[in-house]
Amino acid sequence: MTQGLLQEKVRQAVPHIGYRLTVKLAEAGIIQSIWSPNFDGLTAKAASQSTLITAIDVGIDCQERLFRRPKRSEPHLCLPARRLRVRSVEDTTAELQQQEKFA
Tell me the one-letter amino acid at 22.
T
- In 3-state terms, what secondary structure has residue 76? strand
Q: Contact 81/101 with Cβ under 8 angstroms?
A: no
Q: At residue 55, what is the residue type? A: A
- Of how many residues is the chain composed? 103
> How far, in Å, CA of 31 to CA of 23, rounded?
9
The reported pLDDT for the residue numbered 84 is: 47
pLDDT, one tens digit per residue, over 50-100 is 999 888 888 777 778 778 776 778 887 776 554 444 445 455 666 656 655
Q: How is residue 73 annotated by DSSP?
A: T
Query: Under a CB-based contact definition with an 8 Å cutoff, are residues 56 and 76 in contact?
Result: yes
For the chain, the domains span 3-102
Q: What is the pTM of this model?
A: 0.63
* Coil, strand or helix at 12: helix
* Per-residue confidence (pLDDT) for residue 97, from 0 to 100: 64
